[in-house]
Amino acid sequence: MTVGAITQHAIHDIVERALALEGDPRLYTPEVSSDESTAYARDKTFVAIKLVKSYLTQLDPLSSSVWGLSQVQAAIQGVFNEVSAFISNGNSGHLQNAGSQVDQSLYPLM
């Protein structure tokens, strides 16, 4: 393992790609925003990803694990896929799934 393996890990890219989705107006339609559980899942999802980004900015490559980063990356990829699916088809179940993945896959790793 090298410092570059940590600082150039693919987790950095998926975090940025996931956060870029936050600006999509389809996430803030009246249908989404007026449904408390869907809006909560949406908001929780992006708060969790911002928290990971914050952790990454403070990361000491010498005390980090490529394996650990890969586990978090996989969790964020699942969340990213669900939010992308919602943006594609408008099915609010995808935002609910994203929120569930945060709880079940991402938070336990943090």
- On the question of pLDDT at 1 being above 80, the answer is no
How does pLDDT run across 51-99, given as a tens digit for each residue?
A: 999 999 998 888 889 999 999 999 999 999 999 999 999 999 999 999 9
Average per-residue pLDDT in the chain? 94
- On the question of pLDDT at 2 being above 90, the answer is no
Alpha-helical regions (H) of the chain: 3-7, 11-21, 30-33, 36-57, 66-89, 93-101
Burial of residue 99 (number of CB atoms within 10 Å: 0-12, 13-18, 19+)? buried
Phi-psi category of residue 38: left, alpha or beta, with phi > 0 → left and psi -120 to 50 → alpha: alpha
- On the question of pLDDT at 27 being above 80, the answer is yes
